[in-house]
A and B are shown apart, each in its own frame.
Chain A
Amino acid sequence: MKKILVADDEMSIRLLYSEELKEEGYEVYLAANGREALEIVEKIPLDLVILDIKMPEMDGIEALRQIKERRPDLPVLLSTAYGEYRQDFATWASDEYLVKSSDLEDLKAMVKRYLKE
């Protein structure tokens, strides 16, 4: 079973994402901030990470940088409420940049694409 980490500071989002992804047949890990996310990345051989940007303690961009340092091969999808961070080139290190939407079909399709092989 493919292992996916969802990091978001909003509990309702974490819940929504995990429900949807579990339904798709993935094993879902959850983190409420970047620091927690990094801890999980260290411990679990993850297959994909979905990162929120705006989080307390450690934001998604810093988390992205550190994740890519440790696991450059690990696909990281940024999922954020802020469309304009797309311009911040620091976000370019991510594999995908998605603006959050109540319609999760795009997100799921993308995840599927990364975890195909």
Chain B
Amino acid sequence: MASDRAAFLTQMVEVLTSTVSFGERLNNMVHLLARHLKVDLALYFALDKTKETLFLNISSQGPIPPHMRVEFPLGQGVVGETAVTRKVRVVHRLQPEALSANAPLEKLHPNFHTLAAFPVADDNFLYGVLVLLDKQDRTFGAAERQSMQLAGLMLAGTLRQAIVQEEAKKRIAELSVLFEVGKALSATVELDELLERIVSTTAKVITARGAALEIIDRATGETRVSSRYGQIPAVCPALKEMFPRPAKTTGPPHFETQSVDADGRTHYCLAVPLTFKGQLQGTLCVYDKFSPNEVYLPFDPENRQLLITMAGLIVNAIENALTFQQVEDLAERNERMVQNLTVLQEISQVLLTTVQEERLLEMILQGLTLEQGLGFDRGVVLMVDEASQTLTGAKGAERAAQPSQAALPAALLSPLPQEVPVADWQIPLRPDQGALALAVLKKRPYHYQEHLKEPGLPAVLPGKLAAREFFVVPLIVKDRATGVILVDNQASGRPLESEPLNVLNMFASQAALVLENAHLYSTIEANNRELLLIRERMLESDRLAALSSLASGMAHEIRNPLVSIGGFARRISKLVEETSPLRGYVEVIQEEVTRLEKLLREILDFTGENLSYYGDHDLVKLIEDTLVLVQRDLDAANIKVVKEFAPLPRLHCDHRQIKQVFYNLFSNACQAMPHGGTLTIRTYPLEKEDGLYEAITVTDTGGGIPMEVLHNIFNPFFSTKDYGTGLGLAIAQRIVSRHYGQIEVNNEMGKGVTFLITLPVAKYCLVKDAGQNAVPASALKAPKGGRR
């Protein structure tokens, strides 16, 4: 017996430690027990996952056909009771209720007499129950029971090992999936490629037919990136709709749904959120778990857990890729900017080499169209014509068919390869005239795109200049738009990107400046030419004046003898008898003289009045000269004269006219003060915004001018007995304004009147000369008339 037992133990150890699968080992163990204990049937009931039922797992008779499947709920029958008590039980058929409680076992052994059950369990866990059935009455001895218990313990150990191993395997499988995913995610930092990998890998590891990913901007709701792989059923909800309404399940957030398509097939979808730092938020979704028999399966909790774990990895990978992309974009943009700035700097240096507008326009167009420059297909410069308020084509050019190989500065100086005729192009500066006019009016650039027609932005490029897309930037100098630059890529069809628009803007401000400089330069040149012309004309009129003065002198010399001839002829005719033939002769003389006198009158008395008597005069002397003339009136009225004369530069004026002004003012003062008073005359220099003036005030103490008169004192048709002649002040005002001066009146009722006259000092009169008040007039002096 002992050797028997030893053999059993040896065999048991061999079975349980063999290298076959745990199922096989369990099976062999059941058979070994049957053989060793010499029972008809040995069975193993395993506790299912719910831990509520024990089901027949292994039979010593071999595979279990479906109709032989037997199970016991926990606590029912000997099997169920053993599982609860974890104690060996042996039951005989004849014992009461033995059959009814264990009836299902009849199926397996219709006439068993002995039923023995013992637990397969370790200290804390029950795995199942071993059952032995035999047709004879058996009372298992202590040694047999011991063997059974030992077998149970060892089986439990083996089963635990099996479970642990199974779990380890699963863990390894999961880890290897995640490893795969990780490998896929770390293989690239290119965002597009990464997203493709994410969706394809996700679909593969979950064994889904399709997968999709979308990342949106939380603030704007705009899709940042998205990627799809495999079959995505149309009946499933869109990615955006899955969140932010999280599923109401506990545990990590996820979204699960199923929907039926038109063919009656059920589709499944499982989604988990991708949570990023900052603005972004995404969804990762898998569709329809794949199975070999063309039926789609729902996703199980393990799939869900895996997807959630993967989501974490994916978020990291995408964040890395996004950062990388940003850094790369930044670097690229910087590089382009440096390149653009270099180009702009080179162009602006070349632009500074000329002030000729035509040349500048050519260089600007070269800069716009050269491959080495800004590289647009076509460029046009239009300038604002202030007078007609239109934008007029100045020059246009197309990119050369054969790109120049020269360096940029040299290429800029070469002649335009292909000009675009734009001279007849006129756009009125009104808001309804399209982007070009608007660029000037609003002083901002426009990016015109045919498919993005802004309201009120008609395409206005005429005929062959029509373009589907163009940039127009204003040329702005000192906050004033002087023109526009228009560029397009119509010929090649390349799209215009917003970055060149910035560069173009910078270029335009440079171009605007040099064009304005050129314009100013040409204006100065034109002004110089005009000045020269005026100077020539003045010299010419000087000559004419001299000639006319000579003619006038001669004419005067003729007049005196004519008067004598005519006068004596008249006397003779009175003395000659009416019948005398002399009478006729004398009358001829008389008539001829009259005719000549008439001719002289027409020539002299008319033209003579137009001669002016301009010269450089000392104003104080003119005042003193005039005072002499009114001295009689002043004395007669007992008027005291107070003079406050400051030294003044010489005044370029018609001295006779200026004296007339003073004469009129002094006469008026005399009339205003018939019973005596004070006439105060002051002169002083006066600095105004537009230069130096000589100021003269004439103040009387005549009690002032009545208000109703004051308004009319300069009116030539107004006269009053009380004050002046009326015409006098009107003449004075006319003379002063002819000298580009002003006459003002300051009336103090009850006291008197002050007239203020300001006369501009010609620039050349200010040039000081040693010992003299001022140098005489230069060559610019106005023509002189006759002399007294």
Asked whether A81 lies within 8 Å of B609 as measured between CB atoms, the reply is: no
Among B563, B629, B632, chain A packs the most CB atoms within 10 A around the CB of B563
At the interface, yes or no: A13 with Cβ under 8 Å from chain B?
Answer: yes
Contact of B566 among A15, A84, A85, A102 (CB under 8 A): A102
- Count of chain B residues near A, Cβ 8 A: 32
At the interface, yes or no: B403 with Cβ under 8 Å from chain A?
Answer: no
At the interface, yes or no: B561 with Cβ under 8 Å from chain A?
Answer: yes
User: Given the complex, which residues of B lie within 8 Å of A99, measured CB to CB?
Assistant: 601, 605
Which of B134-142, B286-294, B436-444, B568-576 is found at the contact surface with chain A? B568-576
Q: A13-B560, A102-B563, A102-B569 are in contact. Are A85 and B788 (CB under 8 A)?
A: yes
User: Given the complex, which residues of A lie within 8 Å of B786, measured CB to CB?
Assistant: 82, 84
Complex Cα gap A89–B657 (Å): 8
At the interface, yes or no: B228 with Cβ under 8 Å from chain A?
Answer: no
Asked whether B563 lies within 8 Å of A16 as measured between CB atoms, the reply is: yes
Question: Whose C-beta in chain A lies nearest to the C-beta of B609?
Answer: A84
User: Given the complex, which residues of A lie within 8 Å of B594, measured CB to CB?
Assistant: 102-103
User: Given the complex, which residues of B lie within 8 Å of A102, measured CB to CB?
Assistant: 562-567, 569-570, 590, 593-594, 597
User: Given the complex, which residues of B lie within 8 Å of A54, measured CB to CB?
Assistant: 556
Complex Cα gap A15–B597 (Å): 20
User: Given the complex, which residues of B lie within 8 Å of A82, measured CB to CB?
Assistant: 556, 604, 608, 786
At the interface, yes or no: A95 with Cβ under 8 Å from chain B?
Answer: no
Within A1-51, the residues touching B (CB, 8 Å) are: 10, 12-13, 15-16, 19-20
Asked whether B563 lies within 8 Å of A100 as measured between CB atoms, the reply is: yes
At the interface, yes or no: B93 with Cβ under 8 Å from chain A?
Answer: no
Asked whether B565 lies within 8 Å of A87 as measured between CB atoms, the reply is: no
Report A67-103 CB contacts with B as 1/0, cut-off 8 Å: 0100010000000011111011110110000011111
Contact of B561 among A12, A93, A104 (CB under 8 A): A12
Contact of A84 among B560, B611, B663 (CB under 8 A): B611
Give min CB distance, B536 to chain A, whole Å: 28
Asked whether B565 lies within 8 Å of A93 as measured between CB atoms, the reply is: no
Q: How large is the interface on A (under 10, 10 to 19, 20 to 34, 35 or more residues)?
A: 20 to 34
Asked whether B564 lies within 8 Å of A13 as measured between CB atoms, the reply is: yes
Complex Cα gap A15–B565 (Å): 12
Asked whether A88 lies within 8 Å of B656 as measured between CB atoms, the reply is: yes
Among B571, B605, B788, chain A packs the most CB atoms within 10 A around the CB of B788
Give min CB distance, B599 to chain A, whole Å: 13
Question: Whose C-beta in chain B lies nearest to the C-beta of A17?
Answer: B567
Complex Cα gap A68–B631 (Å): 12
User: Given the complex, which residues of A lie within 8 Å of B629, measured CB to CB?
Assistant: 89-90, 93
At the interface, yes or no: A61 with Cβ under 8 Å from chain B?
Answer: yes
Q: A12-B561, A101-B563, A102-B594 are in contact. Are A84 and B608 (CB under 8 A)?
A: yes
Give min CB distance, A54 to chain B, whole Å: 8
Complex Cα gap A85–B787 (Å): 10
Complex Cα gap A103–B567 (Å): 6
Q: A10-B560, A13-B560 are in contact. Are A104 and B608 (CB under 8 A)?
A: no
Among A20, A101, A104, chain B packs the most CB atoms within 10 A around the CB of A101
User: Given the complex, which residues of A lie within 8 Å of B559, measured CB to CB?
Assistant: 81, 100
User: Given the complex, which residues of A lie within 8 Å of B611, measured CB to CB?
Assistant: 84
At the interface, yes or no: B102 with Cβ under 8 Å from chain A?
Answer: no
Main secondary structure on chain B at its contact with chain A?
A: helix
At the interface, yes or no: B660 with Cβ under 8 Å from chain A?
Answer: yes
Give min CB distance, B725 to chain A, whole Å: 12
User: Given the complex, which residues of B lie within 8 Å of A61, measured CB to CB?
Assistant: 788
User: Given the complex, which residues of B lie within 8 Å of A81, measured CB to CB?
Assistant: 556, 559-560, 563
Question: Whose C-beta in chain B lies nearest to the C-beta of A100?
Answer: B563
Among A16, A82, A88, A89, chain B packs the most CB atoms within 10 A around the CB of A89
Asked whether B656 lies within 8 Å of A13 as measured between CB atoms, the reply is: no
Asked whether A89 lies within 8 Å of B660 as measured between CB atoms, the reply is: yes
At the interface, yes or no: B659 with Cβ under 8 Å from chain A?
Answer: yes
User: Given the complex, which residues of B lie within 8 Å of A100, measured CB to CB?
Assistant: 559-560, 563
Complex Cα gap A104–B565 (Å): 12
Complex Cα gap A4–B137 (Å): 197
Complex Cα gap A20–B788 (Å): 29
Within B585-615, the residues touching A (CB, 8 Å) are: 590, 593-594, 597, 601, 604-605, 608-609, 611
Complex Cα gap A15–B605 (Å): 25
User: Given the complex, which residues of A lie within 8 Å of B608, measured CB to CB?
Assistant: 82-84
Question: Whose C-beta in chain B lies nearest to the C-beta of A53?
Answer: B788
User: Given the complex, which residues of A lie within 8 Å of B660, measured CB to CB?
Assistant: 89
Q: A13-B560, A61-B788, A89-B656 are in contact. Are A83 and B609 (CB under 8 A)?
A: yes
Complex Cα gap A10–B601 (Å): 20
Complex Cα gap A59–B788 (Å): 9
Asked whether A83 lies within 8 Å of B788 as measured between CB atoms, the reply is: no
Give min CB distance, B70 to chain A, whole Å: 150
Asked whether B609 lies within 8 Å of A16 as measured between CB atoms, the reply is: no
Complex Cα gap A10–B561 (Å): 9
Complex Cα gap A10–B562 (Å): 12
User: Given the complex, which residues of A lie within 8 Å of B563, measured CB to CB?
Assistant: 13, 16, 81, 100-102
Q: A90-B629, A100-B559, A102-B594 are in contact. Are A83 and B567 (CB under 8 A)?
A: no
Asked whether B571 lies within 8 Å of A19 as measured between CB atoms, the reply is: yes
Complex Cα gap A85–B608 (Å): 9
Give min CB distance, B493 to chain A, whole Å: 80
Complex Cα gap A72–B633 (Å): 11
User: Given the complex, which residues of B lie within 8 Å of A84, measured CB to CB?
Assistant: 604-605, 608-609, 611, 786
Residues of chain B having any CB pair with chain A under 8 Å = 556, 559-571, 590, 593-594, 597, 601, 604-605, 608-609, 611, 629, 632, 656, 659-660, 663, 786, 788
Known: A15-B564, A83-B601. 4 other contacts (CB 8 A): A81-B556, A81-B559, A84-B786, A89-B663
20 cross-chain CB contacts under 8 A: A12-B560, A13-B560, A13-B564, A59-B788, A82-B604, A83-B604, A85-B788, A87-B656, A88-B656, A88-B788, A89-B629, A89-B660, A90-B629, A90-B656, A90-B659, A99-B605, A100-B559, A100-B560, A102-B570, A102-B590
Closest 6 CB pairs of A and B: A102-B566, A84-B608, A83-B605, A12-B564, A81-B559, A16-B567
